[in-house]
Amino acid sequence: MAQNEDIAEEGIIYDAFVSHATDPDSGPARRVKLDLDGFQQRPGVQRRYREATGEDFAPLRLCVDGKDFVFPKFDPTDTAPSRIFAF
């Protein structure tokens, strides 16, 4: 079973979380996400991982705040929302 299938069975759907301040860090956060999204495609990564584990290296799944989920807007005088909406 691949590493991501093992994790999914435990209810975890992301391998890493990227959090950032909108200004000035949104650009570097996007670059980190893009770099890690394609990590398994780098030359030699699949071969070395397969030699070590006998399995393919599945793509990393990253959660970036403000992109992979948002907090619903609410009136500050109201109670805090009970859910985060994912999309």
Q: What is the pLDDT of residues 30-56, one digit of tens each?
A: 888 888 888 888 899 899 999 999 998
Six-digit token string for 58: 């599945």
User: What's the mean pLDDT when you consider all of the chain?
Assistant: 75
Rounded to a whole number of angstroms, the CA Rg of the chain reads 17
Paired residues of 24 in beta bridges? none
For the entire predicted model, the pTM comes to 0.51
**Is pLDDT larger for residue 27 or for residue 54?**
54
Asked whether the beta carbons of 61 and 68 are under 8 A apart, the reply is no
